[in-house]
């Protein structure tokens, strides 16, 4: 077996990359550890995608939203964000898109062995008794999110032990009377700091939020404080709470919560710590669901219908590439000869501590150079997604879904030109 490109990890960036490679005529294979594509969008229930100009320059994103819309699984919200999507329908659409681009996919598989000649990767072998042959490739993409493939090669990384953000474990509740909840919360949150609602494509869509930070007049604060007093919630459950409707899931809300504090003892790269975080997160979800049924109008018959299969990890390993992108590059809007994306998303750093999170808005767009996606250790290895070559603060602006789409599409176009 041989391919022009092997994409290790069929997540956010990996799917965009593989689809673009296939459309450009390169023989492409995705090796995916799960039984479906989409990465954090599907396995971690990260919906909606955050809004940024970086989504506007990718054909992949446009095709994805068009196909989802036809199935009733996409909405464009009040702020023009097209990234409100249905994670279950997304699995189907991504399958269709890979088939359309003639991209091969092998699910439930990971890399078991790698053959290199000096600093050039020649072939890989899967951890499968049935498919035990080596697969040759010209180029390989690490889009595993945690640089798992690059770690097997002993590549150099940028990480420091304390450079983490809190993880989360998202979930969905169904059986909600969305109209009742929407009418109530729009009236209750008179300041409308974080609450919005509108009928889009025949479905009520809304969003509201609360955090334990004191920088805003959070309408829901009295409920959270009372729930802690009555031991319905633990104090840590109140650190972050955000809900969104889901296109095509009438009567359902997707929860961007609970936030799981990330410390050296809860390192997202440590499988034991990660397992404990998952267990802790599921207990927190049970408490938060009970809170919603107790305090929020329209939740009387609500129930937990889905819990994410994996943690929402904001940052873990970061590769050392040919260029290390810095926060100074981002803030200055430094221009590069080979940009792979343009964005204006803020530096978004969640914190373990109250009143210490960062949301640094940018006055102008910034770009990311392709060299930050190219390994400094191997001449045919590329790294895309949240694990790119960027310092901690810059990565906090680049880790979102539309930017990962841009990275994937950008590196695919670059690879397609290497043989010309």
Q: Tell me the pTM.
A: 0.95
Q: Which residues pair with 348 in a beta bridge?
A: 359
Same domain, yes or no, for 8 and 154? yes
Phi, psi dihedrals of residue 113, rounded to the nearest 5°: -150, 150
Choose one of 307, 327, 359: the last residue of a domain. 307
Same domain, yes or no, for 353 and 380? yes
Query: Residue range 358-362: average pLDDT?
Result: 89
Segment 44-85, tens digit of pLDDT: 999 999 988 755 569 999 999 999 999 999 999 999 999 999
With a CB cutoff of 8 Å and minimum separation 6, the contacts of 280 are 260
Same domain, yes or no, for 292 and 321? no
Same domain, yes or no, for 264 and 129? no
Same domain, yes or no, for 269 and 345? no
**Cα gap 171→261, rounded to integer Å:** 17
Same domain, yes or no, for 100 and 48? yes
The pLDDT of residue 262 is above 80: no
Q: What CATH number does the domain containing 139 carry? A: 3.50.50.60
Same domain, yes or no, for 143 and 171? no
Question: What is the tally of structural domains in the chain?
Answer: 2
Residue percentage of the chain with pLDDT more than 90: 83
Q: State CA 216 to chain mean position distance.
A: 26
Same domain, yes or no, for 322 and 280? no
Structure tokens at 351: 């914190």
User: Helix, strand, or coil here: 247?
Assistant: coil
Strand 259-260 versus strand 358-360 pairing type:
unpaired
Same domain, yes or no, for 185 and 121? no
Segment 161-193, tens digit of pLDDT: 667 888 899 999 999 999 999 999 999 998 777
Lowest-pLDDT range of 87-101, 260-274, 285-299: 260-274
Segment 221-258, tens digit of pLDDT: 999 999 999 999 999 999 999 999 999 999 999 999 99
Same domain, yes or no, for 296 and 405? no
Same domain, yes or no, for 125 and 16? yes
Query: Residue range 107-133: average pLDDT?
Result: 91
Structure tokens at 365: 């767009």
Q: Which residues pair with 137 in a beta bridge?
A: 3
User: Helix, strand, or coil here: 175?
Assistant: coil
Choose one of 272, 307, 342: the last residue of a domain. 307
Segments forming the whole domain that contains residue 405 = 2-161+315-418
**Cα gap 150→116, rounded to integer Å:** 13
Segment 202-225, tens digit of pLDDT: 999 999 999 998 877 899 999 999
Peptide bond into 291 cis (omega under 30): no
Structure tokens at 404: 């990962």
Same domain, yes or no, for 301 and 340? no
**Cα gap 5→143, rounded to integer Å:** 12
Choose one of 280, 307, 334: the last residue of a domain. 307
């Amino acid at each position: 077996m041989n391919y022009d490109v092997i994409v290790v990890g069929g997540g956010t960036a990996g799917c965009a990359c593989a689809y673009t490679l296939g459309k450009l005529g390169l023989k492409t294979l995705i090796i995916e550890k799960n039984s479906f594509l989409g990465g954090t969008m599907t396995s971690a229930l990260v919906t909606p995608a955050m809004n940024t100009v970086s989504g506007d320059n990718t054909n992949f994103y446009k095709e994805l939203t068009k196909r989802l819309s036809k199935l009733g699984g996409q909405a464009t919200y009040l702020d023009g964000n097209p990234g409100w999507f249905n994670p279950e329908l997304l699995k189907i659409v991504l399958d269709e898109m890979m088939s359309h681009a003639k991209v091969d996919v092998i699910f439930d598989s990971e890399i078991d062995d790698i053959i290199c000649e000096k600093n050039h990767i020649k072939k890989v072998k899967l951890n499968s008794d049935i498919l035990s042959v080596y697969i040759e490739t010209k180029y390989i993409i690490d889009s595993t999110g945690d640089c798992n493939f690059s770690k097997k090669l002993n590549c150099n990384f940028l990480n420091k032990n304390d450079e983490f953000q809190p993880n989360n474990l998202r979930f969905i509740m169904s059986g909600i009377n969305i109209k009742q909840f929407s009418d109530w919360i729009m009236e209750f949150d008179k300041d409308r700091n974080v609450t919005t609602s509108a009928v889009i494509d025949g479905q009520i869509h809304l969003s509201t939020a609360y955090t334990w930070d004191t920088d805003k007049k959070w309408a829901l604060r009295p409920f959270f404080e009372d729930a802690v007093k009555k031991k319905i919630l633990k104090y840590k459950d109140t650190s972050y709470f955000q809900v969104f409707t889901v296109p095509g899931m009438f009567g359902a809300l997707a929860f961007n919560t609970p936030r799981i504090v990330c410390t050296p003892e809860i390192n997202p790269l440590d499988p034991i710590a990660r397992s404990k975080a998952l267990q802790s997160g599921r207990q927190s979800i049970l408490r938060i669901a009970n809170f919603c049924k107790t305090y929020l109008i329209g939740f009387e018959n609500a129930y937990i219908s889905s819990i994410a299969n994996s943690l929402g990890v904001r940052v873990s390993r970061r590769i050392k590439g040919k260029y290390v992108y810095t926060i100074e590059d981002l803030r200055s809007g430094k221009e590069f000869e080979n940009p792979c994306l343009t964005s204006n998303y803020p530096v978004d750093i969640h914190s373990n501590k109250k009143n210490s999170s960062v949301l640094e808005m940018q006055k102008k767009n910034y770009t990311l150079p392709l060299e930050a996606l190219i390994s400094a250790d191997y001449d045919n290895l590329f790294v895309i997604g949240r694990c790119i070559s960027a310092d901690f603060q810059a990565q906090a602006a680049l880790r979102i879904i539309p930017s990962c789409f841009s990275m994937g599409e950008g590196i695919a176009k670059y690879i397609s030109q290497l043989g010309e």
